[in-house]
Chain A
Amino acid sequence: MSGNNFHPQVKQLLDGEITLADLPPALRAEGEEALRLLAAVDREPVMFPGLDTRVLAKLRRRADSPSFWRRLVTPREVRLRVRPWTLVPAFAAALALVLVLVRPAPTPATSAVTVRFVLFAPDAHDVSLAGTFNQWDPAATPLVRTGSPGVWSATLTLPAGQHQYAFVVDGARWVADPGAPAVDDGFGRRNSVLSL
């Protein structure tokens, strides 16, 4: 006997719609048999040990770490709370990075060239040299009188490259080197050009 062959009224009994007493006497035995069979069915839930724990853990992980794209496009409120103790290491890290980034790049070794600067200035009391090589400081490189009257000179070792300069006579008069090419200095005077 299978459940499919039960009398419709017995099926009503199994569904709880009627009681055993409601069945006609001819169907009571079938009804009792059907109830006995139903009671014999194993009603214990099927258990997979740890399954729900694993499923929940996985769901929790997904909820905690959505995909990069989802995190990028999902609108959310961001609240930035600055804790005072984070300022010190943050600024220290930034300072270290700045120092690394602004450190001048190593320049290739350049050759140095010794140059003699000469000016004929018979009326001068003092003569000096100012240019890109000494930050245009008139006091940095004085010329000295040579054995020849009125001739002043200085010998410098300069890095190879291009330099602009002028002689400074008596601390005030800026004079271009008559023996060198010159360019406009932007102030109405001329700077001498030295290419080494």
Chain B
Amino acid sequence: MKTLRAFLLLALLALVGGGTTLHAQDISARLAGRVSPEVAALVQRLATSAAARGLPVDPLIQKAIEGGAKGVPADRIAAAVRALAGQLDVAAAALTRAGPTHPDTDAIAAGAFALNAGLNDTNVTTLARVSGPRHAQGGTLRVAGTLAAMGVPAAQTVELVTQVIEAGGDSADVLALPAQVSAGVSHGRGVTPAQAAAGLARAAAARANAPGQQKPKPPHP
């Protein structure tokens, strides 16, 4: 009996220690030769802390690798990785406010991208609520971030995505928005991304208000 207890206790200790070690080894292996040992150690600490908070780890590793590939000094890589960890925290909080479930790591990474592209945390919360169960939050936020990166102002980005979803658009309709804005800019004479987005939002609103069109109820109050 005592031997069995000892076995179980040792197995538990080895499991906890082993999991952490493998996780750390994986990060070390990915960063080996790409960044300085100091940056690798910092990323490892930040990644371990982020994982404990339910945040995605891969964006942090990718950012460090990117900095190393671009020949960026170690202190600037460290600052960029820290800043990204902060954005992931903000995105997670914004998504949590949207409720009702804890956000998944894909949505958090997409939220951080949207923040980096120019949206604020309120925009992220709004878009997460609008997504509802029919649309993946990560997909919606990535599209919104891409629209913002194209030059569509944040408020108009939220308006356009909201109108398309509330008009009954599916995920493919949302994913097509950057290409539609781009096409509007290319085909129009002097049309800005903001103007192209406004035109698409008006069209979606008109579809939503057309006779016989069932406007889906927002999933969350």
Contact = CB atoms under 8 A, between A and B. Distances in A.
A171 B3 CA distance: 62
Interface of A: 79-83, 86-87, 89-91, 93-95, 97-98, 101-102, 130, 132, 135-138, 161-162, 172, 174, 181-187, 189, 191, 193, 195
Given A80-B2, A90-B7, A181-B149, 11 more contacts: A82-B10, A83-B6, A91-B14, A174-B70, A181-B150, A181-B178, A187-B76, A189-B70, A191-B66, A193-B117, A195-B142
B65 A195 contact: no
A181 B15 CA distance: 45
Contacts of A90: 7, 10-11, 14
Contacts of B175: 195
B62 interface: yes
Nearest to B4: A86
Contact of A132 (B3, B62, B83, B84): B62
Contacts of B5: 80
Contact of B149 (A82, A86, A95, A182): A182
A186 B80 contact: yes
Interface of B is mostly: helix
A93 B175 CA distance: 45
Interface residues of B, number: 46
A81 B10 CA distance: 11
A80 to B, nearest CB: 6
6 contacts: A87-B10, A94-B13, A95-B14, A98-B18, A161-B142, A183-B149
Interface string B1-30: 011011101111111001100110000000
Contact of B143 (A83, A182, A195): A195
B80 to A, nearest CB: 3
B157 to A, nearest CB: 12
